[in-house]
Amino acid sequence: DIVMTQSPDSLAVSLGERATINCKSSPSVLYRTNNNNYLAWYQQKPGQPPKLLIYWASTRESGVPDRFSGSGSGTDFTLTISSLQAEDVAVYYCQQYYSTPYTFGQGTRLEIK
């Protein structure tokens, strides 16, 4: 199984500041035939289902604010929120959909400092 490890487990950032969440996969989730990274990011607020933010590691889902961006390739990935808003308080998960069983990171809790 592909293991997904996020860091940090929790993060407190001031409003308007940048938030960065890291995700490492073992092994790689880069499919060399099409050069796509099979990596997604989700946001989950309390009492709600997860919401897809980013797929292919860096493609923003329709309707997602452009302050959210994803980067990385192979085994190391980053979700960045460029200017934190109050509504961004949530738990964020990375997920690989390279091979089954699809696996998620343990989650990163983002709070306001």
Interacting residues toward other proteins by CB under 8 A: 36, 38, 40, 42, 49-52, 55-56, 59, 61, 93, 95, 97, 100-107
Q: How far apart are CA 100 and CA 111, in angstroms?
A: 32
Nearest approach, Cβ of residue 100 and other proteins (Å): 5
Rg (CA), the chain: 13
Q: How far apart are CA 42 and CA 112, in angstroms?
A: 19
Nearest approach, Cβ of residue 102 and other proteins (Å): 4
Beta carbon nearer to other proteins, 67 or 97: 97
Q: How far apart are CA 38 and CA 54, in angstroms?
A: 11
Beta carbon nearer to other proteins, 69 or 103: 103
